[in-house]
Amino acid sequence: MAALKIFSVSFLVLFLEIALIRWLPANIRLLSFFSNFILLASFLGIGLGCLLADARTRLFAWFPFILLAIVAGAAFFRLEVNVVATGAIYFTSGTNEDILQIESVLWLPAIFFVVVALFTALAQRMGREMSTLPSLPAYTWNVAGSLAGVLMLGVMSWFELPPSVWFGIGAVVATPLLLSAEPGATSGRSRVLGAVGVTLVAATVVLVHMISANTLWSPYYKIVVRQQGGDTVVEVNNIFHQSMASLDQKEYFYQWPYSVFGDTFENVLVLGAGSGSDVSAALRHGAKHIDAVEIDPTIIRLGRELHPDQPFSDPRVTVINDDARHYLRTTTKKYDMVVFALIDSLTLQSGFSGVRLESYMFTQEAFADVGDRLTDNGVLAVYNYFREPWLVDRLANSAAVAFGTEPYVHVHEARSFLGVMLAGPRVAQMPASPAIPERVTAFGQSHAPSPARLHQRDRNIEPASDDWPFLYLRDRHIPRHYIYTLLLILGASLLVVAPVVRRASGRWSWEFFLLGAGFMLLETKSITQFALLWGSTWVVASLAIVSVLVMALAANFVVSRWEIRRPWMIGAVLLGLLGLSYMVPVGRLAFDSLAAESLTYVLLGFSPIFCAGLLFGSAIKRSTSLPRDYGTNLLGAMAGGVAEYLALITGYGALIGLVALCYAGALIARPRE
């Protein structure tokens, strides 16, 4: 029974953590720009809860109240924060729905600490249950429950189940815990509080169902379809995404690249095909075959059902449900033209813990992948509303590096810097002064004339790369609102944590703290690697988390049977593997087989995690207070999540050095036998 309770509450903790990481940014837009804040809040809450495991006050009874408050707040306040920053681009909702506009990101700490309170209440119960078993078995059941929670949400994302099902599963798992007494509690009072808690959790599920009415939840994001001005409009995560209209009613740039070269393209690749407008343009201009790549199966389905031109029904079109970068890396086909079809980077889709992992389609490595897929006379076409001239410069500079030739670029300054870029061998055959329409005819915008001008790129703007993929930062820096908010959260967190640590039994362990910080950064690295290999969807991110937990279980199995007598040897292997991973980033090696490529990079990515698990498991095995040391470890993980923002300056490769320092420090801080 003790093992089952540890499994159940551990399942609930990680399941709700990932559910909120996905659900809250889809309803509070700003959280997508601070993509790991919910993760940081959950780690802080779990750490505090474990440190308070032996406290007299029982917090688990408050969990249903706090969960209902979070859902109700997201439902009724609809917060949308205007971020004003000169060196970065942010996109607000663009929706007609009523939202509460506030001017300060200082609201983020309020959201942060409500989530902290939720996971503190949950994790105190987890710590109490874990204290009923010896440290190593308790940790094993904890990891097993966490693994089951991630798998469950990954499966539900795969089947596109709505949030009411997610929270419903959480309610089912929470009910026996709410109705059963905690270790050391009186059963009579617990039953009364439990009945109230079950009622509140059920109310939360009902409220989530009401909020999610008329929404679709793909493996990628939340989708709303509505009618506006006679067009079918698609919104994703509360941002206008696209309108489905006949090609004659769309912007000129869909058809312009074909007209410039006299409709001479036979094989066309459309990346980010959406509901099909770019495909419709290729069909109209005589393409003999089009491969339409779109990551989101729900968007594909909507295009098949609702697009007035029905482009996906044409026999010349092959629809491919895949991540665009992954397709480029794995296909062997050659194309006369590759189109970046308003690729969905503008929604700023957030990963589990990555800081804005949205831009891997616009790096110089991605453009180089396109070059490998073009015929000797092929061309790349990129068009979008770029908002800032320096963003156009970044893309033009990236293309110049990748192709080794000057790209063609023109912009409409009065239309949010709408830009069209052509790059590749065929650019040399362009007319000297191609005719450019003055009217953009964008959906929902003025149709007044907006003359275009040729864009001369600023060569000082750094191209984006797979190591530094932050497309929407003008240069390497941490925006001030990130710094202010992180400092405020860290300061408040220290005020909360300090008295809790002082009252916890035993000494503060720098070993566990540094192990947690290093592990968090390793997890970020693994998710980044998976996103580059197979695309950035919730299913892929779930697989990354599952792989991390499987490595932890495997390491725990080894530690339970063998004593780690020479941790420095394991540490040396770990540091060597980190160095190898730094020297061989994803994409550095060429493979003919996708399976061989995946196996190689998975081994490079997850072998350090296995070594880290051995170090952590051996430390847990010697622990005299599992809740205290586990809580300290999670507080370290929070510090690692904050340190992740350094990647905005250094790139992701440099974080490997920080990981190495964390583990070296943990080995130094390890108590001698």
**pLDDT tens digits, residue range 405-445?**
999 999 998 787 888 999 999 999 888 788 888 877 766 66
pLDDT given at position 359: 65
> So what's the pLDDT on residue 350?
38
Beta bridge partners of 319: 292
DSSP label at residue 463: P
H or E element that contains 81? strand 79-81
CA distance 410 to 89: 20
pLDDT at 10: 93
CA distance 427 to 417: 22
Helix orientation angle between 135-158 and 594-621, rounded to the nearest 10 degrees: 150
pLDDT of residue 398: 94
Which parts of the chain sit beneath pLDDT 70? Answer: 29-30, 32-35, 77-106, 184-190, 229, 343-359, 442-447, 501-506, 529, 535-539, 587, 590, 592, 594, 673
At 93 the pLDDT is 44
Q: State the pLDDT at residue 348.
A: 38
In terms of DSSP bridges, do strands 100-102 and 289-294 run parallel, antiparallel, or are they unpaired? Answer: unpaired
Q: Are 424 and 371 in contact (CB under 8 A)?
A: yes
Long-range contact pairs involving 460-464 (C-beta distance under 8 Å, separation at least 24): 461/390, 461/393, 461/394, 461/397, 462/394, 462/397, 463/363, 463/364, 463/394, 463/397, 463/398, 463/401, 464/359, 464/362, 464/363, 464/364, 464/394, 464/398
| pLDDT value of position 360 | 80
Nearest to 116 by CA among 465, 404, 492, 374: 492
Query: Residue 492's pLDDT is what?
Result: 77
pLDDT of 48:
86
Residue 358, phi then psi, degrees to nearest 5: -95, -10
* Contact by Cβ (8 Å): 463, 398: yes
> Percent helix, strand and coil across the chain, each rounded to 5?
60, 10, 30
Interatomic CA distance for residues 153 and 352, integer angstroms: 13
What backbone phi and psi angles, to 5 degrees, belong to 418? Answer: -55, 125
For the whole model, what pTM was predicted?
0.85
Contact 50, 126 (CB under 8 A): yes
Q: What are phi and psi of 240, to 5 degrees?
A: -60, 130
- CB 242: neighbour CB atoms within 10 A? 24
> Residue with structure tokens 């000129």?
252
3-state SS assignment for residue 465: coil
Supply 345's token pair.
Answer: 């980077």
Between the alpha carbon of residue 481 and those of residues 86, 114, 493, 640, the distances in Å are 11, 20, 18, 19
Of 337, 288, 342, 277, the C-alpha closest to 311 is 277
Label the pairing between strands 418-423 and 453-454.
unpaired
**Closest by CA position to 204, among listed 20, 76, 27, 71:** 71
